[in-house]
């Protein structure tokens, strides 16, 4: 185990170390090389770096693969070479041998595979960081998806956390003011939950309850009689990957309407129910084409290993923040950030107000987009780190870190789909405490 951990540590450090040195070398070269030549040079470097990261993630799996899946969904901020290469990690990771999978299932269920299922496809339909999924049939003929945890994944996760802790500590020494250590704390808390498939099943059923009465949102049913901490059995759903824009259009589905449905689903989870699916990468979202009787296309949520309960005061603080945002009041926005749990080393409200000004500017430019364009990201990326270095934010609440991750994933998906929505028009009614669905329900009873 110690030898394996040392090997993983060397692979992680060497891969990202070479990329870091390459970035620095290119930044130095950019002062002397003509822009057009430099553009081509960056493109070649980005592709080589992405391929090195892909190889590392597939080799090491575990926490490294999960982090790279997130990176591969950020088409709004990362160069296209990274997206093209790393997006393949979402659901095309090389599968494990069937013999390993069969052994886990039979050990967990305490019975032969043929006794639990009438059919079980040896070829996986999806392989990811912690588990892979196989299609099967129950004894009554129903199609199900069987999610099976890799046998050694628990040990790998602990090893990766140790390696990443050392790497992030080193980054903090080299790049002053760049503190990644809080992320390790978040990962240490969340990963055990993702390794418990019973917890995932409970999360799925809870969110399914939020969508009752909506034909355009769905969560597969869990089969508890065949579910354990390492095996999860649910209804099998065959649809279109949500990021496959051309397939959606061929099926007569408007990508913007899909994005609108997804945005409403997250408003409902975050601002109405206070509990949300925290891992909406494209591999976890599918779309079912419209059925008969004018039924709409349906967005299906998969994989509830990462979900989060929001604190009771979150909605009230969000309403205050939304009100300040509407009024363009950066001071009130800064005060709302304090109530949301942000802290600075000097407890300075002024520092958070400075950050609020940047957020206010981004919100204005975001109004008719589902994603922040690269220019906005570049400007914010230059200004926010400066403000944080001057008066560092030392505590960003855990739930806001996950919300930021969700926003980033949805932002990248919105750009991929080319969706053009008025996000503020959709979000603000929920933030102000009026769910459009609740409002329509009240109107129908008046």
Q: Which residues are tagged catalytic? A: 279
Helix (H) or strand (E) holding 62: helix 62-71
First to last CA, the chain: 66
Q: Do residues 296 and 273 touch, judged by C-beta distance below 8 A?
A: no
How many Cα atoms are found within 13 Å in the side-chain-facing hemisphere of 18? 14
Measured between alpha carbons, how far is 101 from 124 in angstroms, rounded to an integer? 10
Least Cα distance to 417 among 72, 80, 75, 68 occurs for 75
**Distance (Å) of CA 76 to CA 361, 369, 407:** 18, 12, 11
| Helix spans in 97-216 (H) | 98-109, 113-116, 153-174, 181-194, 197-210
Residue 110 Rama label (left phi>0; alpha psi -120 to 50; beta): left
Strand 343-344 to strand 217-218: parallel, antiparallel, or no bridges (unpaired)? unpaired
Strand 217-218 to strand 298-301: parallel, antiparallel, or no bridges (unpaired)? parallel
């Amino acid at each position: 185990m110690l030898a394996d951990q040392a090997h993983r540590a060397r692979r992680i450090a060497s891969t990202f170390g070479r990329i870091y040195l390459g970035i620095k070398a290119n930044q130095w070269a950019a002062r002397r090389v003509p822009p057009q030549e430099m553009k081509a040079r960056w493109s070649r470097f980005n592709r080589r770096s992405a391929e090195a990261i892909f190889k590392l993630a597939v080799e090491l799996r575990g926490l490294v693969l999960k982090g790279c899946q997130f990176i591969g969904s950020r088409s709004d901020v990362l160069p296209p070479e990274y997206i093209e290469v790393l997006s393949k990690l979402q659901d095309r990771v090389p599968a494990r041998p069937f013999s390993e999978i069969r052994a886990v299932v039979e050990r967990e269920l305490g019975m032969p595979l043929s006794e639990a299922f009438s059919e079980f496809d040896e070829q996986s339909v999806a392989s990811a960081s912690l588990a892979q999924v196989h299609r099967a049939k129950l004894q009554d003929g129903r199609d199900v998806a069987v999610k099976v945890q890799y046998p050694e994944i628990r040990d790998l996760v602990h090893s990766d956390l140790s390696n990443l802790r050392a790497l992030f500590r080193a980054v903090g020494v080299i790049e002053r003011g760049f503190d990644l250590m809080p992320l390790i704390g978040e990962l240490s808390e969340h990963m055990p939950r993702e390794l418990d498939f019973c917890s995932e099943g409970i999360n799925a059923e809870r969110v399914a309850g939020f969508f009752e009465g909506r034909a355009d949102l769905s969560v597969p049913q869990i089969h508890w009689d065949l579910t354990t901490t390492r095996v999860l059995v649910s209804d099998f759903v065959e649809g279109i990957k949500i990021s496959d824009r051309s397939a959606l259009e061929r099926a007569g589905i408007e990508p913007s309407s899909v994005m609108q449905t997804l945005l409403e689903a997250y408003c409902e989870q975050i601002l109405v129910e206070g509990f949300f699916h925290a891992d909406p990468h494209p591999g976890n979202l599918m779309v079912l084409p419209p059925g008969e009787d004018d039924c709409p296309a349906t967005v299906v949520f998969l994989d509830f290993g990462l979900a989060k309960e929001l604190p009771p005061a979150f909605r009230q603080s969000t309403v205050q923040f939304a009100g300040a945002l509407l009024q363009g009041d950066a001071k009130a926005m800064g005060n709302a950030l304090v109530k949301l749990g942000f802290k600075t080393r000097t407890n300075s409200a002024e520092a958070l107000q400075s950050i609020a000004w940047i957020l206010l500017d981004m919100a204005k430019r975001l109004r008719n987009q589902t994603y922040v364009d690269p220019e906005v990201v570049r400007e914010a990326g230059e200004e926010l780190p400066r403000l944080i270095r001057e008066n560092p934010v030392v505590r960003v609440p855990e739930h806001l870190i996950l919300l930021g991750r969700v926003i980033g994933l949805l932002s990248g998906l919105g750009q991929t789909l080319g969706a053009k929505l008025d996000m503020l028009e959709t979000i603000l009614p929920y933030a102000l405490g009026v769910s459009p669905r609740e409002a329509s329900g009240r109107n129908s009873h008046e």
